[in-house]
Structure 1
Amino acid sequence: MSIRLGPNRYGKAETRLVRVVKDGPVHHVKDLNVSTSLSGDMEAVHLTGDNAAVLPTDTQKNTAYALAKKHGVGQIEEFALLLARHFVDTQPTVHHARVEIDEYAWTRRGPHSFVRDGGEVRTCVVHCDRDGRSTVVSGLKDLVLMNTTGSEFHGYIVDEYTTLPPTTDRVLATAVAARWRHAGDTPAYGKSYEQVRQCLLDAFADTHSLSLQQTLYAMGERALNTCPEICEIRLAMPNRHHFAVDLSPFGLDNDNEVFHAADRPYGLIEGSVLRDDAPGAGFAWEQETSS
């Protein structure tokens, strides 16, 4: 029996980076969480402890800070591409770079005063290879949505362990995590993000839901129909269950007005929606959520 080293990578996780641009008395803020990971000619470090091929993770952190100062931070996809290309272009032993960025939004309260938004987090994952291939996956997470009616669930499999009663009127609540893959030329990432986000919001609100799966597909379909620059979208949507409280012991009716919001356990619905003519996923789409 032979033993060999399998796929591997290493990097610096969750480098907190805040970039302030000073336009006279008016300041602008970009607040990022940057994770980098590299792979390539790394066999010796694993088998013998020879670090000659290793760019330290501390150096990866410092590179993020330095490039933020030298080049600024615009759209997070562009900054992630800049970082990834830097690593594969400057380090002969690095054959592949993965950069993941979360962006936290701040709302202006004055020329240099801000309040942290409590909404969703914008995300991206970028992959670059030494042969020049790159893939950009944009996204968001923690987009919390709720319909207080217009949702049903019935007609499902019933066996000896089923206790869930069917319903034609329930609360549908979720926290959307979505990632979408760009096709063709580099789009205007900021505009594309706003369009996809609006499609997700509109489809969630407009769909009379017979299942969360149906709602997920409607949201992905709306995004693809509206945004030709994306070719596939993947969504993960936990079902944040709301159970009507039994108020009969107190002599009170409850016509779906008072609920207990349960945080766990929860149903987790995941799926992808893609164009029939979508180009191949390539290396990045398969790896974009791997550890």
Structure 2
Amino acid sequence: MQARMGPNQYGKAEIRLMKVDRDHARHVLHDLTVSVALAGDMDRVHVDGDNSPVLPTDTQKNTAYAFAREHGVAEIEDFAALLARHFVATQVAVRRATVTVEEHAWERLADHSFARSGRETRTATVRYDGDRIEVRSGLRDLVLLSSTASEFRGFATDRWTTLPETDDRILCTSVDARWRHTAPQADWRASYDAVRSALTTAFADTYSRSLQHTLYAMGARVVSTCHGVAEVRLRLPNRHHILVDLAPFGLENPGEVFHVDDRPYGLIEGTVLADGADADDGAW
């Protein structure tokens, strides 16, 4: 049976970039990780070893640095779109560019001094094919915890089930969320803040019957209250907190001391759509 080349892409992954805005005495940091993936007429690169369609990944890295200097990095969605449009417009063989940007937060200490923040990482992914541009904003490593108002019972069991039911437990997760916009936002920062607030408020307001139940509540709050969001994809690992048995030491433990177990962990994933929105089957 003869072989043929299937879908493929290439690019520069995890370009570390720090842009310092020095226009005023109060400096601003933009600490980014940028990844580029290009796709198009690349079959002959793989099959024949013809490198003429290939824009070196080193060039892609240099472009990110140069664009940060020439155009600035006001909002990561805009910066990702600028790069994606550039690669498609300037490279004949490139039919689609996907650019992902992560922004790492810093806490201000003074006008030009900072400490690395423990906040979540803000993300953006832009895909452009020469005609249509799609934007996904997101966040990861947003750690949330409720010390009560969470249960897990009434689940399926079989001969290997040992997990007891509980009507009161700690619920903790590290949120990885991506949301798709129906159109470019006028204010990306305000849109991000609104989605983050919807996620955290829903987590706090929901009496959780399972992490799946909480996932839907969080996603539903986003698509119902945040303008221009068509869908949100959530990936929620269950950070298990296991009650420690202190009886061997003659001590009671009324839900106060827990062992934090980092692995293995339950992983709950799901997509919540706005009413009337079509699901995007793409993995990006």
TM-score (norm 1): 0.95
Deviation at 1:57, TM superposition (A): 0.1
- In structure 2, distance between residues paired with 1:265 and 1:91: 45
Offset at 1:27? 1.0
CA contact (8 A) 2:143 2:172 kept: yes
Output the CA distance in 2 between the equivalents of 1:140 and 1:55.
30
With over 3 angstroms needed to count, the CA separation of the structure-2 counterparts of 1:31 and 1:197, relative to structure 1, is same
Report if the CA contact (8 A) 1:187-1:229 is conserved: no
- Secondary structure of 2:161's counterpart equals coil
Per the alignment, residue 220 of structure 1 pairs with 219
What residue number does 1:177 align with? 176
Letter aligned with residue 230 of structure 1: V
Equivalent residue, structure 1, for 2:34: 34
Q: Could you tell me which residue of structure 1 aligns to residue 255 of structure 2?
A: 256
Cross-structure match for 1:6: 6
Whole-angstrom CA distance in 1 between matches of 2:279 and 2:178: 16
Question: How far apart in 1 are the matches of 2:283 and 2:251?
Answer: 53
Alpha-carbon distance in structure 2 between the residues aligned to 1:279 and 1:260: 42
For residues 98-143 of structure 1, what are the alpha-carbon distances to aligned partners after superposition, in whole Å with 9 as ceiling and x for unaligned? 101110011111111011111110011110002x211000000000
The answer on whether the counterparts of 1:183 and 1:279 sit within 8 Å (CA) in structure 2 is no
Percent pairwise identity:
57
Distance in 2, Cα, partners of 1:54 & 1:210: 52
Give the whole-Å Cα distance in 2 for the aligned partners of 1:115 and 1:89: 39
Correspondence 1:1-291 to 2 at 5 A: 1-130=1-130, 132-279=131-278, 281=280, 286-288=282-284
1:41-65 deviation per Cα after TM superposition (whole angstroms, max 9, x unaligned): 1111111111111000000000000
Shift, 1:5, TM fit: 0.2
RMSD of equivalent CA atoms: 1.1
Q: Distance in 2 between matches of 1:5 and 1:123?
A: 31
Question: Would the aligned equivalents of 2:41 and 2:53 in 1 still touch at CA under 8 Å?
Answer: yes
TM-score (norm 2): 0.98
Aligned partner of 1:167: which letter?
A: T
Using the alignment, how far apart are the partners of 1:85 and 1:147 within structure 2?
43
- Is residue 41–residue 53 contact of structure 1 (8 Å, CA) maintained in 2? yes
Query: Which residue identity is paired with 2:246?
Result: L
Task: Give yes or no for contact 2:135–2:184 (8 Å, CA) kept in 1.
Answer: no
Distance change >3 Å, CA 217–CA 84, structure 1 → 2: same
Cα deviation for residue 280 of structure 1 reads 5.8
Deviation of 1:236 after TM superposition, in Å, equals 0.5
**Cα contact 1:233–1:274 (8 A) shared by 2:** yes
The Cα shift of 1:24 comes to 3.4
What secondary structure, in the 3-state scheme, does the structure 2 residue paired with 1:225 have? Answer: helix
**Shift of the alpha carbon at 1:277?**
1.0
* Equivalent residues, number: 284
Q: Could you tell me whether the CA contact under 8 Å between 2:273 and 2:279 is conserved in 1?
A: no
Deviations 1:183-242 (A, max 9, x none): 035342111100000111111111111100000000011111111210100100000000
Structure 1 unaligned residues grouped into runs of 5+: none
Secondary structure class of the residue paired with 1:118: coil
